[in-house]
Chains A and B, each alone.
Chain A
Amino acid sequence: MTVSQRAAPPVRRRPLLPYVLLVPALAVLLAALGYPLFRQAVMSFQEYGLAQQFGQAPEWVGFDNYARLVTDSYLWTVLARSIAFCLTAAATTMALGTALAVLMTAVSRGPRLTLQIALLLAWAMPHLASLTVWQWLFESQYGVVNWLLTGVGFDQFTGHSWLLNPLSFFVVAGIVVVWMSVPFVAFAVYAGLSQVPAELYEAAALDGASGRQRFRMITVPLVKPVLLIVGLLQIIWDLKVFTQIFVLQDAGGITRDTNLIGTYIYRLGLGEGQFGLAAAASWFILLITVGLSLYYVRILIRDEEEL
């Protein structure tokens, strides 16, 4: 199929048409993402606080905002915390998701379908609904998690408030994030696995390859593109996790000890009205995100050139 596409002659008669087709999408992206991005860059070099919000002209301060941020140890704490949380959650999600995908290929139809439906239910849950349910599961007095742990013999969990301690706060947040992210990984990897033609395995088996060798030489290379892109999305998503942290903080977390990048910027900007500082922080985070994913971008762009 790809061959016929490549062989097809490019349409040259209407060179304007493709650009016209791109206009609506481009216009929306420029208005709602491009302009704010630019505006944010400008704001990050200005003193832009509550006074400016009420009409006073913003004052140019050069790199002051950035300097203030970089010298504030709290930013680095938040950043380190975010990266640690992101990598832990993303790694756990990828490992569990891939394991479940492999499991799906190994079992018969009945169990596979059961697991797929369960994963779908978790995947389909709106974030706020699942966060609310998990709050209820971890509720200190009537929550079923504490009941279970106490029942098993951990008496210290009677009436335990999970969200008050930063570490257990992040355990809960991590469980919620992993619970809702695993289905996507499992399905994507499973789809990738089932695209591997069975004949390849059979041919390799005929050539005397062991099960492990077949996995390493056939499965891994063929599924690698899927793993790469899913892994990248996971890292990006887990780095910008906001809703989960914000809502759990609302439910009783100690804000200062549990802020991640997203909630930090939110509270800095919309909470304290320090828009200039928040804009600088945003740019800072943007660069870090892009930096983290540069490796992936390079691979994807290289693939793109093969088209």
Chain B
Amino acid sequence: MTAVATATLPERRTPPRPARSPSRRRRRLLGVLTVVIAAIWAFPVYWMVNSSLLPYNRIRNPDPTFFPLGGTVGAYGRVLEGNFLSSMRISMMVTLITVGAALLFAFLAALALSRFRFRGRKSFVVTVLIIQMIPAEGLFISQFKLLEGWKLLNSVLGLSLLYIAAVVPFTIWMLRGFVAGVPRDLEEAALVDGCSRTQAFFRITLPLLAPGLVASGVYAFLQAWNEFTLALVVMTRPENMTLPLWLRTFTDANRVSDWAGIMAGSVLIAVPVMVFFLLVQHRMASGLVSGAVKG
């Protein structure tokens, strides 16, 4: 059917030419609309950067300043004076542990789920699905009690443990799609060519999985870096704040006086994430969809 369709297309396509110009105008109009929507959507992000560069007198002005001409980076200095850096250290440790452990655990599980048929496989997949529906708010009371009992409140390890559990189900879900996407024939061809099972895995399967691992890793990174609720519940001491907690405290303290500083803090937290995100977003969206649809 495909062959027929493509073969007949060229001659069929030519006649309706004259009718095209209104549709082209429509297309251009839609293009303008798209750009306007894009501008609206990006405005808050622009406004954050813009405000962070404005001096006191310009930011506290009934008429907003739309371009940071003659701006200052003084606000960033004010942010770095506080305990931003120590919060950053905590956030980085928690994030690293979460990403590493979640990737490893989820990868092993995904391997089991997509490369083996075994009893309980289907119920595990369904459980992974249902776990994602558990509202975090429904659990944090007893997660708080759990860490309290294990003397892990206010510890990087305790928070990481909760994050790993929060991230692993979705990571398994995503990776499963990627693992299933690696053709088994390739592995078997390598076996025929004399590779051992381990060799076949490391030489053939793993490189093909790299995009999936990167995408899931970024997902885990974003979750751990951005998470607020559990951190709020578990990290009760000011010296153990993660970055989101720090930003909230900093905002509350400076709400009246220093919006430029608050925006500078937001920029500092957001920029690393955005860079990361722009690099791999494409794989995230398609990985999610392939994981969800193809299983």
Task: List the interface of chain A (C-beta within 8 A of B).
Answer: 1-2, 4-5, 8, 10-11, 15, 17-19, 21-22, 24-26, 28-29, 31-33, 35-37, 39-40, 43, 100, 103-104, 106-108, 110-112, 114-115, 117-130, 132-137, 139, 141-142, 144, 147, 179, 182-184, 187-188, 190-192, 195, 197, 199, 202-203, 206, 225-226, 229, 233, 236, 239-240, 242-243, 246-247, 250-251, 261-262, 265-266, 269-270, 275, 278-279, 282-283, 285-286, 289-290, 293, 297, 300-301, 303-305, 307
Q: Report the minimum CB–CB distance from B287 to chain A (whole Å).
A: 9
User: Given the known A-B contacts A28-B105, A126-B269, A133-B47, are A36 and B146 also in contact in the complex, defined by CB atoms under 8 Å?
Assistant: yes
Q: Is the CB of B135 within 8 A of A240?
A: yes
**B202 interface residue per 8 A CB criterion:** no
Q: Report the minimum CB–CB distance from B181 to chain A (whole Å).
A: 8
Q: Is the CB of A40 within 8 A of B139?
A: yes
Q: Is the CB of A133 within 8 A of B48?
A: yes
Q: Is the CB of A120 within 8 A of B263?
A: no
Q: Is the CB of A110 within 8 A of B31?
A: yes
Q: Is the CB of B168 within 8 A of A35?
A: no
Q: Report the minimum CB–CB distance from B216 to chain A (whole Å).
A: 13
A35 surroundings in chain B (CB, below 8 A): 146
Task: List the interface of chain B (C-beta within 8 A of A).
Answer: 1-2, 5-6, 8-9, 12, 27, 30-35, 37-39, 41-42, 44-45, 47-48, 51, 59-64, 101, 104-106, 108-109, 111-113, 115-118, 121-122, 124-126, 129-146, 161-162, 164-166, 168-169, 172, 180-181, 183-185, 188, 222, 225-226, 228-229, 232-233, 243-244, 247-248, 251-252, 255, 259, 262-263, 265-267, 269-270, 273-274, 276-278, 281, 285-286, 288-289, 292-295
A36 surroundings in chain B (CB, below 8 A): 139, 142-143, 145-146
Whole-angstrom distance between the alpha carbons of A142 and B285 in the complex? 37
Whole-angstrom distance between the alpha carbons of A62 and B134 in the complex? 24
Main secondary structure on chain B at its contact with chain A?
A: helix
Whole-angstrom distance between the alpha carbons of A283 and B47 in the complex? 41
Q: Is the CB of B47 within 8 A of A25?
A: no
B38 surroundings in chain A (CB, below 8 A): 111, 114-115, 117-119
User: Can you list 20 A-B pairs with a CB-CB distance of less than 8 A?
Assistant: A18-B113, A19-B118, A26-B109, A32-B161, A32-B165, A36-B143, A111-B31, A114-B35, A124-B276, A132-B263, A142-B59, A182-B41, A199-B2, A226-B289, A229-B293, A240-B138, A251-B255, A261-B135, A290-B133, A293-B133
Q: Is the CB of B133 within 8 A of A289?
A: yes
Q: Report the minimum CB–CB distance from A8 to chain B (whole Å).
A: 5
Q: Is the CB of A136 within 8 A of B263?
A: yes
Q: Report the minimum CB–CB distance from B190 to chain A (whole Å).
A: 14
> Which of B35, B60, B130, B162 interacts with A290 by CB under 8 Å?
B130
Q: Report the minimum CB–CB distance from A33 to chain B (whole Å).
A: 5
A133 surroundings in chain B (CB, below 8 A): 44-45, 47-48, 263, 266
Whole-angstrom distance between the alpha carbons of A3 and B159 in the complex? 43
Q: Is the CB of A282 within 8 A of B226?
A: no
> Which of A117, A233, A282 interacts with B137 by CB under 8 Å?
A282
B265 surroundings in chain A (CB, below 8 A): 132
User: Given the known A-B contacts A43-B142, A107-B27, A275-B141, are A129 and B134 also in contact in the complex, defined by CB atoms under 8 Å?
Assistant: no
Q: Is the CB of B108 within 8 A of A25?
A: yes
Q: Is the CB of B162 within 8 A of A32?
A: yes
A sample of 19 more A-B contacts (CB under 8 A), given A36-B146, A197-B2, is A19-B112, A28-B105, A28-B161, A37-B139, A111-B38, A115-B37, A115-B41, A125-B274, A126-B244, A127-B228, A127-B244, A128-B266, A133-B48, A133-B263, A142-B64, A147-B63, A240-B136, A266-B140, A293-B133
B168 surroundings in chain A (CB, below 8 A): 25, 28-29
Q: Is the CB of B229 within 8 A of A226?
A: no
Q: Is the CB of B104 within 8 A of A24?
A: yes
B270 surroundings in chain A (CB, below 8 A): 124-126, 129
Q: Is the CB of B31 within 8 A of A28?
A: no
Whole-angstrom distance between the alpha carbons of A226 and B31 in the complex? 25
Q: Is the CB of A21 within 8 A of B262?
A: no
Whole-angstrom distance between the alpha carbons of A112 and B27 in the complex? 12
Q: Is the CB of B262 within 8 A of A132?
A: yes
Q: Is the CB of A24 within 8 A of B269?
A: no
Q: Is the CB of B293 within 8 A of A226?
A: yes
Whole-angstrom distance between the alpha carbons of A186 and B126 in the complex? 26
